[in-house]
Amino acid sequence: MGIADMFYGRSAKARERRAAKVRNKYADVPGMTPELLEPLAQSADMPSRDRVALYLEAVPAGAEPRRVLHGTKVYTGTSYVGVLFDSGLTMRWGGYGGIRGTELEVHGADLPFGGMQKVEIFSHEGDDGILVSGSDGTNDYSIGCLGFDPQDVQEFAQATVAARDQFVQPASPDINIDSSLPPEQQLAALEQMRSLGAIPEDLYAATAAKIRASSH
């Protein structure tokens, strides 16, 4: 294990110790549920109370988070939380304006996968995070969220891209061809669907091969 692995607590034992501390410290926070607590416990850093408050703010009622990214811009005292869901990404950030004891100022954005175009990682002046770009249908956006561990930031970005691609991928169209027809007529019907652009090439090839195989 390298120095960076030790510093960021990447070992299985370190992650389990951190998860246990998170569960013990934040289980009784108002609004926290076991379903919300566990993704937070599995995150790459021990969250501050500011970040826990932002996390709870970021999760809509009844939603189930898949993964959490959180970090703090130290010199401004701004905390960041990104929460990954099946349908999109939610970000919240905020601070106290340098005055402790005041109400946490919360800002945020909800980013559905439908408008998300690009997910990048960045490292700048000691801060590591993701930068998400896209459009809400009216305006373009580019919004960032900091993390603690650069490796976790990269994995969070990869998980976001994978979830987005899975969400926006169109379902394969159904092919309804009367199997009682002779193979030649089935292939002709399939070719007509192909010429109309009703089916993708890979599905056409697979279905045609199946029809030909059944005729032997």
Report the percent of the chain where pLDDT is more than 70: 91
pLDDT digits (tens, 9 = 90+) for 49-71: 999 999 999 998 889 999 999 99
Q: How far apart are CA 129 and CA 71, in angstroms?
A: 8
Determine the pLDDT at residue 164.
Answer: 92
Hunting for tokens 């970021």 — which residue is that? 58
Q: How many CB atoms lie within 10 A of CB 213?
A: 9
Phi and psi at residue 157, to the nearest 5°: -60, -45
Contact 132, 144 (CB under 8 A): yes
Determine the pLDDT at residue 188.
Answer: 86
pLDDT digits (tens, 9 = 90+) for 16-31: 999 999 999 999 999 9
Phi and psi at residue 112, to the nearest 5°: -65, 150
Phi and psi at residue 144, to the nearest 5°: -115, 160
> In order of start, what are the domains of the chain with their CATH numbers?
3-168 (2.30.29.30), 171-216 (no CATH)
What are 43's two structure tokens? 């995150």
Average confidence score pLDDT of the chain: 88
pLDDT digits (tens, 9 = 90+) for 177-210: 777 788 888 888 888 877 766 677 778 888 888 8
